[in-house]
Amino acid sequence: MADQRSLPEETHTADPFGSQPILHEVDSWWKIRLTLMRRSLRENWRIFRRSKVGVFGLVIIAFWAIMAVMPTVFFATGFWNPAVYDPVTGLELNPPTRTMTMVERITDPNTEIDRRAVLLDGRIPDTLQIGDTFELPRQPAPPDGRHWLGTDPLGRDVLSQLMHGARASFFLGILAAVVTVVIGTTVGSMAAYFGGIVDAFLMRLADLLILIPGLAILIVIGAVFTFQLWHLAVVIGILSGFGGTAIVLKSQALAVKVKPFIDAARVAGGSARHIIFYHLIPNVMPLSVLYMMFTVTAAIQSEAVLSFLGVLNTDTSWGLMMNLARTQGYLLQVVDFWWLTIPAGLSVTLLSAAFFLVGRGMDEIVNPRLRRR
């Protein structure tokens, strides 16, 4: 299984025999490795491409990646005015919908009166009486030429929030996945290499982590700490890296461990650290990339749920958009205020499904058994 993919192993077995000047050796070693890597990448891409679902997932991810960079372009070109389109502080002053409002109560007009009422014509009406009616802009406003997906209850552009939400999701998902893989490969390889107590301890820990509902842990941690986005990514990475990912990668590392080139490296006097980091981990990598995809899915979902519940401390995210819709009571007005819920909910679903699909596509590279006959 590892034969055509994990080509680097050949270079390793050749290692102990090289006695050329070190610089030269390092140089050519990397060249060989790069060539091999490029070749195996091309081969893997060929296999991946045959998986229709994988490619489908990739297309969706590409779409969201473009969405995520769009705001930068829009702001830089001046197409979007930050004062209006900023996902957090932006405000549409002149929405297409208005509503007649009657003044019910007057307190100090300078501070307490509705901000939007004040800004309506740029000044505070002096002669405000109870019972006066005047026109107020109504937020959330439905999509129009300026706001393609309308505005939210605070008058901010939904599309802009959606795009920034994609950015947050990518940041979170990828960071979580990287942490997972770094921890998972290390833990898995160590458990496989050392066996015994180390293995028993790490694996029991992993058992525990996969048993305990992850979201429940995150919610409780959220109760004690103030959660930033990157905290969340790291915690998810740790949970999944020490948990399920470690178990899978350990069994893979066990399979690699019995290969002859590991013995060769050991005979050649390779230290445990050397063998783990230069031989085991590179060979376990392909599988761990697969698990990265599943971690991304889990991370995106967890973030959305936590923000939706209001446990997370972020300023733009898809979950938060839904949270606002919920707290302002628009969640069940699916027909009248669809732009407040459908885009955000669908985005979470689509992007996490896309990573999952890519993972399934990769499965065919990593698991030759699944390949089409």
Partner 1 sequence: MVRYVTRRLIQMVFLFLVFLTVTWFLLYILPGDSVALKYAGNPNIPPEAREVALERLGLDKPVLIQFRDYMFNFFQGDLGVSFNQYPRPVVDIIAERLPRTLVLFLAALVTYYWAGFLAGKYLAWRRGNRGEMLVTIGGVGLYSMFLPWFAFMMIWLFSVLLDWLPLSKFLDPEQWRDAPFRANQVFMRLFWVTLIASVALFASGFIARQTRSRRLGRTLRWGGGALAVGGFFFYWYGVDSGQVMRVYAGDIGFHMILPVLVLTLINFAGVMLLTRSSMLETLREDYILTARAKGLPERVVRDRHAARTALLPVATSLVLAVATVIDGGVITEAVFSWPGMGEILVSSVLSEDIPLAVGAFSFIGILALIGHFVVDILYGVLDPRIRVTEHG
Binding-site member from 216, 267, 269, 273 for partner 1 (CB under 8 A): 216
Stretch that binds partner 1, among 140-148, 154-162, 219-227, 280-288 (CB under 8 A): 219-227
Q: According to DSSP H, which parts of the chain are helical?
A: 8-14, 22-50, 52-76, 82-85, 115-119, 158-194, 196-211, 214-224, 229-242, 244-257, 260-267, 272-274, 281-309, 318-327, 338-366
Cβ atoms of 360 and 51 closer than 8 Å? yes
Stretch that binds partner 1, among 13-21, 31-39, 170-178, 221-229 (CB under 8 A): 221-229
- Cα separation, 317 vs 322, whole angstroms: 9
Stretch that binds partner 1, among 80-88, 89-97, 161-169, 209-217 (CB under 8 A): 209-217
Residue 248 carries which side chain, given as an amino acid letter? Answer: V
* Residue 258 CB, nearest approach to partner 1 (Å): 19
Sign of the CA dihedral with 113 first, then 160, 171, and 57 last:
positive
Is residue 334 close enough to count as binding partner 1 by CB under 8 A? yes
User: Judging by DSSP bridges, how do beta strands 133-137 and 98-102 pair with one another?
Assistant: antiparallel
Stretch that binds partner 1, among 34-42, 75-83, 150-158, 310-318 (CB under 8 A): 310-318
Is residue 332 close enough to count as binding partner 1 by CB under 8 A? yes
Neighbours of 75 (CB within 10 A): 15
**Which residues from 53-92 bind partner 1, rule CB under 8 A?**
53, 56
Neighbours of 27 (CB within 10 A): 12
* Residue 198 CB, nearest approach to partner 1 (Å): 16
Residue 133 forms beta bridges with which residues?
Answer: 102
Whose Cβ is closer to partner 1: residue 261's or residue 308's? 308
- Cα separation, 169 vs 303, whole angstroms: 8
Whose Cβ is closer to partner 1: residue 6's or residue 252's? 252
Whose Cβ is closer to partner 1: residue 114's or residue 207's? 207
Is residue 234 close enough to count as binding partner 1 by CB under 8 A? no
Binding-site member from 23, 130, 211, 267 for partner 1 (CB under 8 A): 211
Burial class (CB in 10 A: 0-12, 13-18, 19+), 311: buried
Is residue 310 close enough to count as binding partner 1 by CB under 8 A? yes
Whose Cβ is closer to partner 1: residue 288's or residue 323's? 323
- Where do contacts with partner 1 occur on this chain (CB under 8 A)? 52-53, 56, 204-205, 207-208, 210-217, 219-225, 244, 297, 301, 304-305, 308-311, 318, 322, 326, 331-332, 334, 341, 344-346, 348-349, 352-353, 356-357, 360
